[in-house]
Amino acid sequence: MKARPHVTLEDVARSANVSLATASRVLNGTASVRADLRERVSAAAAELAYAPNAHAQALAGGTHRTVGVICHDVSDPYFAAIAGGVMRVATDNGLLVMLAGTFRDPDREVAYVSTLRAQRAAAILLIGSAFEDRAWERAMAAELEPYRRGGGQVAAVSRHRGLKIDTVQPDNKGGAAALAKALVGLGHKRFAVLAGPRKLSTVVDRLAGFTDALAEHGISLHEDDVVEAAFTRDGGYDATKRLLAGRKRKLPTCVFAVTDVMAIGALTALREEGLSVPGDISVAGFDDIPVVRDLAPALTTVRLPLEELGERAMDLAIKGAGGTRPRTVRLAGEVVLRESTARPKR
Amino acid sequence: MKARPHVTLEDVARSANVSLATASRVLNGTASVRADLRERVSAAAAELAYAPNAHAQALAGGTHRTVGVICHDVSDPYFAAIAGGVMRVATDNGLLVMLAGTFRDPDREVAYVSTLRAQRAAAILLIGSAFEDRAWERAMAAELEPYRRGGGQVAAVSRHRGLKIDTVQPDNKGGAAALAKALVGLGHKRFAVLAGPRKLSTVVDRLAGFTDALAEHGISLHEDDVVEAAFTRDGGYDATKRLLAGRKRKLPTCVFAVTDVMAIGALTALREEGLSVPGDISVAGFDDIPVVRDLAPALTTVRLPLEELGERAMDLAIKGAGGTRPRTVRLAGEVVLRESTARPKR
DNA sequence: TGGATTCGAGAAAGCGCTTTCTGACTCCCG
DNA sequence: CGGGAGTCAGAAAGCGCTTTCTCGAATCCA
């Protein structure tokens, strides 16, 4: 049995012995139809296992019930949690979610937006740090602008700069600052930071918040104290190893990883090097992805309402752009002190 | 500036002063076109920021470049890892992935298939344990069957029973058996199992493999030794608490959680109860999701090639159904002994 | 140089659906 | 009992694109 053509509305109409218009009306409940005809159409549709062609529907009527979500990496718990929030709201509104992972490739990100635009998606959600790159920004704007002019909604989590779109913005700077303050309060004076690539605005903000707060307490971070690495578990792991290899003496008493995911790698690296946390060294992360409370030691971090981040972004997109200027929803983080940080012994 | 109609191919053609046909040919490279015309069309398209309407394309030509992936929960690392594999292959083949989360609701799963069918998705991938439920199975088959007859591809990870579709099947039974053997080899005799709902075939298989292997060594599992709970971190946590509450004396020396995610919850629960792992009790999981190697103690588990699971499923779907009977790709698991298990002291 | 052959551009026919627009018919009220 | 209002089914016009099909012009061989 080879790819038999699809059952179409016409098949249903013919089988029910009515016109296309009537069949359409019955199936969509658009207008009132005589009971017996309605009956016949429903029966025929069921009989033939009719499924309307969504493309044709979209073309003709203009229903667009799918939204696109673009993030860097689906298997990163941070994005997964946010995506979860997005999906909840989307599902509640009868929207279908297309989730795309760019694997951190800027070009692929632009390509996805282009495809979503072609699909006439009802909305496009950009999740995660933007690339601080002029060319990318221009390419992105070139896709987004006509999309929105055509009626598309756009919202983002954790972006700003350049493209002027509605944004849900976690308070990276404030959160990092609060964390720094708490850590200093614990008695720490020598810090190291595991940072991601500085092209990412999130990294820049968190770093700035942290160092600024430190500076307020008269503590400065040297060049060597900031190790740059990939924004992943392995990145955190590598960065830590490099940090340790650098100078065995004069270790920092506390390490701040700009991301929980990186902190996880750091924890393992530290353990491998025979350093106990928080005994020898304290570790703190950022995000509060679900798993970090289950680590031993449980990770001190800045809690971001991840699911809510996604929900609010989806909300922004659904509610549509009210005024002319992009809206921004700010969500604060909250320092959560757990077992991975303690008073320094040195 | 309100939702101005989209730029259409006709706009491009008019602006370039050529016919629709020519414009289409240029943009798709379908046929050779005189150089100057080609030039004009390209320029016009760029100028107008033209994006073809994918719905119209799908309707007219029949290109369907999107595949649907349905899993229980996007934020579960197990699914996330598999989805990652799917996406890699999909992207390599120029396919767009629509990822849907059912939040473990059977009806929602059927609804998603229905929508995907309407979208004329090129393929539908079902990821994760099926529901062992007659009614559900029938509803699902009723959607899938016409979809496939219409030329749609279907593949699954970790399903079987009922619906006869191409499947990538991790060796749950064998893996669990091997794990049991290894654990017994370590000297364990008293076991407890944290199981998920028995409606899920994965649970049933892993449980069976484990108990059967145990039986071969003359060890039997009592009713109370198998605690059923939700298939999540919290499920594992609760189940462990219940297990411990039951009988303080005569604790098992080893706990097997049918899922890594559940094992993570178990580890935390154990820690809270002041039991050390593996000192007082050993813990083993299943799946080898990325994070478990970073736990302290690192989790003993059965490694499944998660990404490959997704890749192979996508492969099956792309390659299309060859013969008449459903194909099955079996992927073995491998026991990975880490620090969460040790010889029992009692 | 004439007729056969290519080649490539444009006209037009759908793809499957929604939605006016028509046109019967029935109903109601003067 | 007639005419205007009100229903509701069917015909037909697109939605934006791909893809024959058609046909004029350029190319070529005898």
Name the pLDDT band for B3 (thresholds 50, 70, 90): very low
Model confidence pLDDT, tens digit, residues B295-304: 999 999 999 9
Q: Does the pLDDT at position B162 exceed 90?
A: no
B30 Cβ contacts chain C strand, under 7 Å: no
CA A21 / C1′ C19 distance in Å: 9
Burial of residue B89 (CB within 10 Å: 0-12, 13-18, 19+) is: buried
C-alpha separations of A84 from A225, A305, A315, B80, B156 in Å: 35, 12, 14, 11, 22
Angle made by CA atoms A194, A197, A202, in degrees to the nearest 5 = 85
HSE on the CB side for B238, CA within 13 Å? 10
Of residues A5, A91, A264, nearest to B294 (C-beta):
A264
Q: Does the pLDDT at position B7 exceed 70?
A: yes
Q: Which of B149, B176, B80 is nearest to A84 (CA)?
A: B80
Please tell me whether residue B57 adopts helix, strand or coil conformation.
helix
pLDDT of residue B62: 66
Model confidence pLDDT, tens digit, residues B20-65: 999 999 998 888 888 888 999 999 999 998 988 888 988 887 677 8
Instruction: Quote the strand ranges of B49-91, DSSP E.
Output: 66-71
Model confidence pLDDT, tens digit, residues B245-292: 866 567 899 999 999 999 999 999 999 999 999 999 999 999 999 999
HSE on the CB side for B306, CA within 13 Å? 20
Interchain proximity B55–A55, CB inside 8 Å = yes
What letter would DSSP give residue B187? T
Q: How many whole angstroms separate alpha carbon A191 and alpha carbon A242?
A: 15
Q: How many whole angstroms separate alpha carbon B16 and alpha carbon B26?
A: 11
Query: Residue A344 corresponds to which amino acid?
Result: P
Q: Which of A285, A274, A233 is nearest to A251 (CA)?
A: A274
pTM: 0.86
Cβ-contact A202, A158 below 8 angstroms? yes
If you average pLDDT over residues A153-164, what whole number do you get? 84
Q: Does the pLDDT at position B231 exceed 60?
A: yes
pLDDT of residue A323: 65
Q: In this structure, how many other beta carbons lie within 10 angstroms of the beta carbon of residue B317?
A: 27
Q: Per this entry, what is the length of chain B?
A: 346
Q: In this structure, how many other beta carbons lie within 10 angstroms of the beta carbon of residue A270?
A: 22
Model confidence pLDDT, tens digit, residues A187-197: 999 999 999 99
Q: Sheet containing B66-71: give its strands across.
A: B96-101, B66-71, B123-127, B153-157, B166-170, B328-331
Angle made by CA atoms A117, B96, B290, in degrees to the nearest 5 = 125
pLDDT of residue B243: 93
CA B23 / C1′ D28 distance in Å: 30
Quote the tokens at residue B158.
Answer: 């970790």
Nucleotide nearest to B120 (CA to C1'): C16
Helices (H), B157-272: 172-186, 201-216, 233-246, 260-272
Nucleotides of C under 7 A from a protein CB: 7-20
pLDDT of residue A95: 86
pLDDT of residue A3: 46
Model confidence pLDDT, tens digit, residues A275-303: 999 999 999 999 999 999 999 999 999 99
Name the pLDDT band for A249 (thresholds 50, 70, 90): low
Interchain proximity B99–A142, CB inside 8 Å = no
Model confidence pLDDT, tens digit, residues B182-210: 999 999 999 999 999 988 889 999 999 99
If you average pLDDT over residues B104-123, what whole number do you get? 87
Burial of residue A224 (CB within 10 Å: 0-12, 13-18, 19+) is: exposed
Model confidence pLDDT, tens digit, residues A66-112: 899 999 888 899 999 999 999 999 988 888 888 888 888 888 888 88
pLDDT of residue A61: 75
Residues in chain A with CB shorter than 8 Å from the CB of B145 are 49
Name the pLDDT band for B77 (thresholds 50, 70, 90): very high
CA B28 / C1′ C2 distance in Å: 39
pLDDT of residue A321: 67
Cβ-contact B15, B46 below 8 angstroms? no
If you average pLDDT over residues A263-271, what whole number do you get? 97
pLDDT of residue A5: 67
pLDDT of residue B2: 41
Interchain proximity A119–B54, CB inside 8 Å = yes
Name the pLDDT band for B4 (thresholds 50, 70, 90): low
pLDDT of residue A208: 96
pLDDT of residue B12: 93
Dihedral sign (CA B80, B81, B84, B85): negative
If you average pLDDT over residues A216-220, what whole number do you get? 95
Q: Does the pLDDT at position A2 exceed 60?
A: no
B159 Cβ contacts chain C strand, under 7 Å: no
Cβ-contact B166, B159 below 8 angstroms? no
Residues in chain B with CB shorter than 8 Å from the CB of A49 are 142, 145-146
Q: How many whole angstroms separate alpha carbon B1 and alpha carbon A324?
A: 10
Q: Which residue has the tokens 């030794």?
A: B225
What letter would DSSP give residue B290? G
Instruction: Quote the strand ranges of B56-139, DSSP E.
Output: 66-71, 96-101, 123-127
**Better pLDDT: B242 or B102:** B242
pLDDT of residue A62: 66
Q: Does the pLDDT at position B1 exceed 90?
A: no
Model confidence pLDDT, tens digit, residues A122-145: 999 999 887 778 888 888 998 898
pLDDT of residue A104: 84
Nucleotide nearest to B8 (CA to C1'): D16
Q: Distance (Å) from the C-alpha of residue A290 to the closest C-alpha of chain B?
A: 10
Give percent of chain B with pLDDT exceeding 90: 63
Cβ-contact A24, B27 below 8 angstroms? no
